[in-house]
Amino acid sequence: MKFEISREGALKQLDTFINSELTNYSFKRNFDLGPKDKSNVSCLSPYISHRLITEYEVAKTVLSKFPFQKVEKYIQEIFWRVYWKGWLELRPQVWTDFIEDLKGLKEDDNYKKAINGETQIECFNDWVKELKENNYLHNHTRMWFASIWIFTLNLPWQKGAEFFMKHLYDGDAASNTLSWRWVAGLQTKGKHYVAQPWNISKFTNNRYKNVKLNENPSPLTDNREYKLNTLNFITEDNSNENLLVFENELNLENKNLKKYKNIYLVLLSNKARKLKLGQKVLDYKTKIIDDQKKRFEDLQIIDEVKFQNIIEEVNSFDVVHPSIGENFSYLNSMRKKRDLELNLVFSEEDKFSWQFSNKGFFNFKNNIPKILTSFNLQ
C-alpha cells in the first residue's frame, strides 16, 4: 500500500473513504483484509499523527455529510488520538519512565527472533514483515501483535512500543505508548487485552487458523502511580518574531504566520532522538515537511544542528506545542541548557478537549458531542 505524501493527498483519501466505505465502517472496521487491502479503514493516521490534517478537521468533514448518529463509531475512533494526547499531557512522567525503562532492557535472542519475524507464530512473522514493508498495520492487528509480544513471547512491552515507533509512519508518543500499556494491563490496571486464536481467525477471514498462544495470562503489574498534572496554557504575547514548529504538529492552516519574521520547521535526526526511527519513517517525515514547504514558502527546514546554531544568537521563540514525547523532551532539554524563552502555542480545540482526558475514555467519549458543538464541527 502507498500513501500520498501531501495534505492534498490526505484530503483526497478522506473524501474517497467518506464516499465509499464510511457507512460500512462499524461493521467492517475490525477485519484485517491483508497487506494489500485496507479499504475498510480510512488509513488517515499517518497524516493525522503529524497533524497534516487534524482530528477536528476530519470530524468536521465527515459530519458535513452524515449525521453524528450514523458515523458515531468512526468519530469516536478519530478522537482516541486526542484523548491519548491529553492523557499523556496530564501525566508526562509516564513518557519519561518509558524512556528510562528502555535503558535497562536487553535485546536477547528471543527479542531478535521477534523483530526479524523468526518466531513459531506464522501470523506474527507476517505482521513483522508487513510492518517493515508498509510501515503500517491495521489497528486490530496492532492489538494482536502487542498481546502476542507481551504474553506469548514474554517480551517487555517497552521494547515492543519502541519497535512500533521505529517502523510506523503514524508512530505517535501518546497513542503508541499508551496503547501498549493498555494491552499489557497497565493503563487500566488489571484489564489487559489477550489475543485469542478464534478472534484472529475470524477477523482475518480465516487466513490464520489454530494459532498457538498463551490464552490465559495475567496482566502485567507496575507499582508506579501517576498523579494528574495541571494543564498550563498560559501564553505571553511578547510579539515574538520567531516560530518553531516540529514535524508532529504541522497544522499551520489557521496560524497567523505573517506576524513571524522566521518560521523554523524542525526535524530531529536520529542522533538527537532517544527512540531511533527507521530510514523509511525519517524519509516519510521529510517528504511531509517538503509538502508544507511548497505551501508555506517562508518555512526554513532545520535539524538539531542548525537549531543549535540559531540559538547562539536567538533565545526567544513561539513554539507550536509538540505534545509530550520525543520532540517536547528535546525542546525542554535545550530550554534548560540554553535558558531559552519559549512561549507554547496550543490549539483551542486541544485546550478544550484535553480537560476530558483526566479519566478513562468512557468519560471522554461522553463529552465528544460537547467538543463538536463548542467548535461548530457538526
C-alpha distances out from residue 124 to 25, 68, 110, 137, Å: 25, 36, 14, 12
Q: Are 1 and 131 in contact (CB under 8 A)?
A: no
pLDDT of amino acid 253: 86
pLDDT of amino acid 232: 82
In a 13 Å sphere around the CA of 243, the CA atoms on its Cβ side amount to: 23
Q: Which residues of the chain have pLDDT under 50?
A: none
- CB atoms inside a 10 Å sphere around CB 245: 26
Place of cell 495534505: 7
CA distance 178 to 54: 20
pTM here is 0.96
pLDDT of amino acid 5: 86
Domains and CATH numbers, the chain: 1-91+349-378 (1.25.40), 108-203 (1.10.579.10), 242-345 (3.40.50.620)
Q: What is the 3-state secondary structure (H, E, C) of 326-362?
A: HHHHHHHHHHHHHCCEEEEECCHHHHHHHHHHHCCHH
Round the average pLDDT of the chain to a whole number and report it.
95
C-alpha cell at 291: 509538502
pLDDT of amino acid 2: 73
In a 13 Å sphere around the CA of 89, the CA atoms on its Cβ side amount to: 23
Q: Are 247 and 327 in contact (CB under 8 A)?
A: yes
